[in-house]
Amino acid sequence: MSEADSAIHGQIDHIFRHEYGKLVAILTKTFGPANMELAEDVVQEAMLDAIRQWSYEGIPQNPVGWIYKVARNKTINVIKQAQNRREKNDKIVSTFQTDNTLDIDLEALFSNQAIADDQLRMMFTCCHPSISADSQVALTLKTLCGFSIPEISQAFLTSEENINKRLVRARKTIREAEVPFEVPDIHELGFRLSRVLETIYLLFNEGYQATEGNELIRYELCEEAIRLAETVASSQHISDKSEVFALLALMSFNASRFKARIDDQDNLLNLEHQDRKKWNQELIGKGLQYLEFSASQQKVSEYQILAAISAHHCTAPNYESTDWQGILSLYDLLLQLSPSPLIELNRAVVISKINSPGEALEVIHAIKDQETLKAYPPYFTTTAELFYQNHQPEQALKHLRQAQKIPFGENYKYLITRLLEKYSKKN
């Protein structure tokens, strides 16, 4: 691939990540939720047109505007074809004709406010209660965030075939249940909002600890997750935004440490070894504001506690002065609110800081048979580190070798290999 072709594909990938979900949401409103796949097809065709035409003519001055214009023209063509073949496309035609004419103001459909409103509707459409929980998240990641099937399968630690089945079931349910393209009423809003926020957090984590590609951190995915959360936070449809702002606080704190997480040799650095001068103080400030607003609503949520834990780390002047006792209290509260072996694992690390690696290993021993942990490499790497600190290097190497067998993306395999080399040398 030439340098010019590489630049074009890079530009397309950037636009795809930032604009795909917006365009699919707009066109889903136009075609109706039952025709969500048609909306995706139109957007994908517009992206393919860009690759073909830009390869000959070069990248236009306004590439995003170019994509939107092509998508707009393709939308008009689809409507015209639907009008000529009414027997199969009555729903598309009727949806469009509620605006009286083919000369509908499509520019209004593509305005910034319309895009934000349609993305919010799209989030809640994908998270309709008639769709199973796992299919809700998969569908949102595919349609609104532009995830590929392999990326979603990595995020769920399952096969691509299973993800395909989930997407097929979700789309079938939307058609059969005639799921509306709207923000739910107040009676359903709380439950549906929790699912939307879970999806956004999953998107952020996929960027924060990438499971696919050569990058250890995929910044654009994290930025997109924060943007989606800000879209939810700015909505006038939602009155109780405590959980939304708590999630924004958590993501802001974590994003503030991006530049310090990787050294010059592309090694991931933990909190102890990060240069805190590289932390983004503006994002930390935003996180503290979001957390303060969330706390003012007097509603405790899992995201709020996680954000408070992250705030302890971000405001400590150095690693040695970290308030581990305060963090332990927060983990104890989190376990009461949302018991999980993953929370127990993180809590064990804190116990090792306050008491000893031996006591932390006792906590981990109690959860070692949990199914969630058997395919989770951080469980094995964390346990290995605790064994090494507890002067049990053979046990440490044993757990790292177990982690090496788990399919969790090439980046993580590489990190495990480096740890194996490190521990073997010291052994």
Q: What is the pLDDT of residue 218?
A: 67
Q: What is the pLDDT of residue 409?
A: 55
Q: What is the pLDDT of residue 413?
A: 67
Question: Is 96:30 a contact under the CB 8 Å cutoff?
Answer: yes
Q: What is the 3-state secondary structure (H, E, C) of the chain?
A: CCHHHHHHHHHHHHHHHHHHHHHHHHHHHHHCHHHHHHHHHHHHHHHHHHHHHHHHHCCCCCHHHHHHHHHHHHHHHHHHHHHHCHHHHHHHHHHHHCCCCCCCCHHHHCCHHHHHHHHHHHHHHHCCCCCCHHHHHHHHHHHCCCCCHHHHHHHHCCCHHHHHHHHHHHHHHHHHHCCCCCCCCHHHHHHHHHHHHHHHHHHHHHHHCCCCCCCCCCHHHHHHHHHHHHHHHCCCCCCCCHHHHHHHHHHHHHHCCHHHCECCCCCECCHHHCCHHHCCHHHHHHHHHHHHHHHHCCCCCHHHHHHHHHHHHHHCCCHHHCCHHHHHHHHHHHHHHCCCHHHHHHHHHHHHHHCCHHHHHHHHHHHCCCHHHHCCHHHHHHHHHHHHHCCCHHHHHHHHHHHHCCCCCHHHHHHHHHHHHHHHHHC
Give the integer Cα–Cα distance in Å for 375 and 345: 14
Q: Counting Cβ atoms within 10 Å, is residue 277 exposed (0-12), middle (13-18) or buried (19+)?
A: exposed
Q: Which of 32-36, 325-329, 363-367 has the lowest mean pLDDT?
A: 32-36
Percent of the chain at pLDDT > 70 equals: 85
Highest-scoring range by mean pLDDT, 8-22, 261-275, 326-340: 326-340
Q: What is the pLDDT of residue 387?
A: 93
Residues 244, 248, 251, 255: what is their CA dihedral angle, to the nearest 10 degrees?
Answer: 160
pLDDT-derived band at 150, boundaries 50, 70, 90? confident
Which is it for the CA torsion 231, 237, 239, 240, positive or negative? negative
Q: What is the pLDDT of residue 302?
A: 94
pLDDT digits over 379-393, tens only? 998 999 999 899 998
Measured in degrees and rounded to the nearest 5, phi and psi for residue 372 equal: -60, -30
Which is it for the CA torsion 157, 162, 167, 173, positive or negative? negative
Q: What is the pLDDT of residue 363?
A: 94
For Cα atoms 184, 186, 190, give the angle at the middle one, nearest 5 degrees: 85
Q: What is the pLDDT of residue 105?
A: 55
Q: Is the pLDDT of residue 15 over 60?
A: yes
Give the integer Cα–Cα distance in Å for 397 and 385: 9
Q: What is the mean pLDDT of the chain?
A: 83
Q: What is the pLDDT of residue 81?
A: 78
Q: What is the pLDDT of residue 115?
A: 79
Q: Please compute, for residue 266, the number of CA atoms within 13 A of its CA located in the half-sphere on the CB side.
A: 9
pLDDT digits over 162-212, tens only? 999 999 999 999 999 999 998 888 878 888 898 899 888 987 887 776 544
Please report the domains of the chain, with CATH numbers, ordered by start residue: 340-427 (1.25.40.10)
Q: What is the pTM of this model?
A: 0.79
Q: Which of 10-19, 198-207, 231-240, 245-254 has the lowest mean pLDDT?
A: 10-19
Candidates 172, 225, 234; CA nearest to 202 is 225
How many CB atoms are closer than 10 A to CB 354? Answer: 12
Highest-scoring range by mean pLDDT, 57-71, 183-197, 292-306, 318-332: 318-332
